[in-house]
Structure 1
Amino acid sequence: MLRWLIGGGREPQGLAEKSVQTLGEEQTQNPYTELLVLKGHHDIVRFLVPVDDYRFASAGDDGIVCLWNAQTGDKLFELHAHTQKITALAAFPLTDAYEEKCHMILTAGADRAVIVWDCDNGRQIHKVSCFHSTVKCLTVLQRLDVWLSGGSDLCVWNQKLDLLCKSHLIDSDISAMIELPKNCVAAAVGKELIILRLKTSKDGTEWDVFEVKRLLDHQDNILSLISVSDLTFATGSHVGELIVWDALDWTMQAYECNWDASLHVDPQQEIKLSHSQNKISIQHLTSDEECVFAAVGKGIYVYNLQMKRVIAFQRTAHDSAVLHITKVPNRQLISCSEDGSVRIWELREKQQLTAEPVPSGFFSMWGFGRATKQANNTAKKAPESTTIYSLDLTGDLIGHSSAVQMFLYFGEHGLATCSADHLIILWKDGERESRLRSLMLFHKLEHSEDLQLRI
């Protein structure tokens, strides 16, 4: 139903695998039947970050930063200062001296500059251009009221862009950072995970950052680094390794790499998987503290942290690599892909099947008596290692004509997606929007009748 709403859309993939789920034109479980196309960028839009419950910022390769209203789709501000593409974007909510909340964002560009913007008036507050290389990531530590920039160096700054301290790690750049307990930070540098600790004097005038430990368990570059809870974090690599870490002592809690080993794949599928090892990189991870949701190649996998195994999966969720994934309420997941699609999935519990023992007479009749016991044991153990949930497709949003980089979920205000086609799309709940329009019409009519009575 949504396929024709935008002139572009995803082209049919003739070589797509048959296992890709599809929906008909009538998507009865998909609420997003309306969309707003937001135009403000002239190149790939790579980043979206929420400012508050109804505002968000976008940035990309054109160096422009736009602030939007997620309710109406109105462009609030268009920020120009970077001369090259934006490489990192982060929200920085602060409290000023009058205890009034002031929302700010940080932007880093390939022009080796970092800028602090005021989201309420669209003005540039501070700018610094003293970096020796491009800043690849920005991380705000609200508890310490500082923020970190990661590139060839790790720098610690306050809200006024005063450099508090700097640490040079290795020749490779920092690609991602997250905050850990005890004033620590985990930084992904190639295939290494470096634990750093921030130290400050009692009066807060002197700062230092020093390396505590290096974790060398990944075999290839780390592509995703997320905080799962106060006690746990997770990393995903280019060769499909998921590692769950203890956030206090940085020991490995769980490791998963061969995602299909326990899913009882038939031999022909095993051969297909072995030929596509280059398509198993973990592009993105997200978590709800109970499970980690991994975008592995074209697929989506749900890894239960307590059971330490995959409990649901879609091996081919999209026609191309999955770039972003998020868990939303009502046991739903949303994913987007290089193929230009955004898809909604529901995590549903399967009905558990009990294994029935195979009669020994059948095997002994053909001279397989020794194999009988082994076959029976195999039959009984199989259900223990099969997935207990399914991921069922409930919505397919076709509007972008190129790779969807990421998205933001705004609850009742809908979904915002950004793409390599230079567009941002707001997907809206059609029934809700229809009700809102009806209410607005009734209010206008009542106001009109009041005016007529007064005249």
Structure 2
Amino acid sequence: MSVLQRLWTSSSKDKQKSDKQLIPDVEDPADGQPYNPYTEILILQHHKDIVRLILPIDDFRCATAGDDSKVVIWDIQDGCSLHVLSGHDHPITCMIIHGEIILTASSDKTIRVWDIFNGQCLHILKEHCSSVKSLVSIPESTLFVSGGRDICLWNENGQLLKTLQRTDTEEDICIMISINHNRIVTAADKQLVVFSVTPVDDDEDKDVNSEMSLIKSLPPHREVIHSLIKVSKSCFASGSIDGMIVLWTAHNLLPAKYFNTITNYQGADKLYPYSIQCMFCLQEQYLFAAIGSGFGIFDVSASKDGLICRKISAHFSKILNIGMTRDGSYMLTSSEDGSIRLWGKPPSSDPEINEKLNNSNIPMEKFTRLSSEELKRLNGENCIEPELLGEFIAHSGAVQTFVDYDKEGIVSCGADGLVIVWKNSELQKVKRNRMVAGILSNHDGIV
């Protein structure tokens, strides 16, 4: 760990020490972290408040946003800020890419449309009457939907096509996803509601005349929904702070399975220790869920409870984000305790096994180092537990989220206002050697 990293970890370590009294048996990484390739850091500074969002643009650019009301577009190769998008008056709540534009929504009741290449503001949409908390694109169209107190349908030119008013007794929409057949699933408090976007027939420009209507309200969760994801074309999943995960069919909008059902879910002082904060799905089969300060993996195709992996205490505080590296080698978790942790299996002592798994194009095989047949035999009584391979410590507050950029590393953001790129040191060494070799081979270079 570098001196810079140690300076940045002081407050985070203090928090971890106090949290150890509350959550026992949280392991420490091995000395030297021999299996952690991300040992170089690049710190990007521009934000003045909590950074909550990271939006990948391409292989080398990302946009970050948060409570300082600004969006910064970065080149993550060298850490340069390319554009600063200013205009919102209050914190930015959500951000998506829609074709060649960036859409940002804010608690200032507006949506802004930005050019993805030069950062210019193209449109300001002011029709919402309260904070805008969620955005989602309609696939294969120029349409997008925004949600908050009401739900609105727009085209990319900023034209409002439809507004559906919601009652004063309903909570604001906080999460939305797009599923098959131009349907939108929304989450507001404990409730899931499905809407349909329908192009009007007999018109050349169907997007302009599209309609949006309510299809169905689904059976509610016991507690507030914090995560909603598309699993496959045939199903989606929702998770709530009581720990329950519900798998829904996309066709008839009925619950298909329930995972992680807990009876006494409130815990001491009603802190909801089993809260589902984040989920993602791998291979349309394996559902990864952040459960309180731990995580679980569920096989949604299994006939029983589907649990194949459980780590009860992975961090000292609740996990805020969970994800996988692009090649499937590692799983990452970020937490309120200020750390990012790297999970997986160390290489085998058998070179042939390592070569076989490294060449596998099945991410779950690479991550667990088990064959597909071995994975099928896993169940609640025969679970796997990934090993802690490394820990990233540089943020001085909660790590809100992260995005994997493959060979360019991991980009994270946090409550300390920092954006950090965690670089693979071996790959960076190769890049520097090539750069030096290029300079030396150039007759005009200075040696």
Contact 2:267 2:273 in 1 (8 A): no
Letter in structure 1 aligned against 2:55: V
Alpha-carbon distance in structure 2 between the residues aligned to 1:235 and 1:272 = 18
In the other structure, the counterpart of 1:335 is 333
In the other structure, the counterpart of 1:27 is 33
Aligned ranges 1:30-429 → 2 under 5 Å: 30-93=36-99, 103-171=100-168, 172-202=171-201, 203=203, 204=206, 205-258=208-261, 278-288=272-282, 289-307=284-302, 308-328=305-325, 329-346=327-344, 347-348=367-368, 385-429=380-424
Q: 1:226-252: CA deviations, max 9, x gaps?
A: 011111110001111100111111111
Q: 1:305-355: CA deviations, max 9, x gaps?
A: 11242111110110000000012233421110000000111153689xxxx
Partner of 1:49, secondary structure, is: strand
Moved more, 416-425 or 190-199: 190-199
Change (3 A) 1:211 1:428: same
Contact 2:266 2:273 in 1 (8 A): no
Partner of 1:279, secondary structure, is: coil
Which blocks of at least 5 consecutive residues in structure 2 are unaligned?
Answer: 345-366, 372-377
Alpha-carbon distance in structure 2 between the residues aligned to 1:272 and 1:165 = 39
Alpha-carbon distance in structure 2 between the residues aligned to 1:317 and 1:170 = 41
Moved more, 158-167 or 170-179: 170-179
In the other structure, the counterpart of 1:375 is none
Change (3 A) 1:153 1:331: same
| CA drift at 1:122 | 1.3
Alpha-carbon distance in structure 2 between the residues aligned to 1:232 and 1:2 = 45
Scaled by the length of structure 2, the TM-score of the pair is: 0.85
In the other structure, the counterpart of 1:98 is none
Partner of 1:401, secondary structure, is: coil
Partner of 2:436, secondary structure, is: helix
Partner of 2:17, secondary structure, is: coil
Which blocks of at least 5 consecutive residues in structure 1 are unaligned?
Answer: 94-102, 262-269, 352-382
Alpha-carbon distance in structure 1 between the residues aligned to 2:341 and 2:379 = 30
Q: 1:161-219: CA deviations, max 9, x gaps?
A: 00011112333211111111122111112111101111221222422211111112411
Partner of 1:37, secondary structure, is: strand
| CA drift at 1:6 | 4.8
Alpha-carbon distance in structure 2 between the residues aligned to 1:272 and 1:194 = 25
Alpha-carbon distance in structure 2 between the residues aligned to 1:2 and 1:223 = 36
Letter in structure 2 aligned against 1:427: W
Contact 1:408 1:417 in 2 (8 A): yes
Q: 1:118-158: CA deviations, max 9, x gaps?
A: 12111111111221011000101131220110011110000
Alpha-carbon distance in structure 2 between the residues aligned to 1:34 and 1:452 = 27
Q: 1:340-372: CA deviations, max 9, x gaps?
A: 000111153689xxxxxxxxxxxxxxxxxxxxx
Contact 1:300 1:315 in 2 (8 A): yes
| CA drift at 1:256 | 1.7
Scaled by the length of structure 1, the TM-score of the pair is: 0.84
Alpha-carbon distance in structure 2 between the residues aligned to 1:64 and 1:384 = 46
In the other structure, the counterpart of 2:5 is 5
Change (3 A) 1:216 1:451: closer
Partner of 2:386, secondary structure, is: strand
Contact 1:402 1:421 in 2 (8 A): yes
Moved over 3 A (4+): 270-277, 347-351, 449-453
Alpha-carbon distance in structure 2 between the residues aligned to 1:166 and 1:66 = 30
Change (3 A) 1:108 1:257: same
Alpha-carbon distance in structure 1 between the residues aligned to 2:3 and 2:254 = 47
Alpha-carbon distance in structure 2 between the residues aligned to 1:251 and 1:156 = 25
Contact 1:41 1:62 in 2 (8 A): yes
Partner of 1:389, secondary structure, is: coil
Structural RMSD (CA): 2.4
Alpha-carbon distance in structure 1 between the residues aligned to 2:265 and 2:119 = 55
- Tell me if 1:430 matches 2:425: yes
Alpha-carbon distance in structure 2 between the residues aligned to 1:272 and 1:160 = 46
Letter in structure 1 aligned against 2:190: K
Partner of 1:83, secondary structure, is: coil
Letter in structure 1 aligned against 2:278: H
**Equivalent pairs, count:** 403
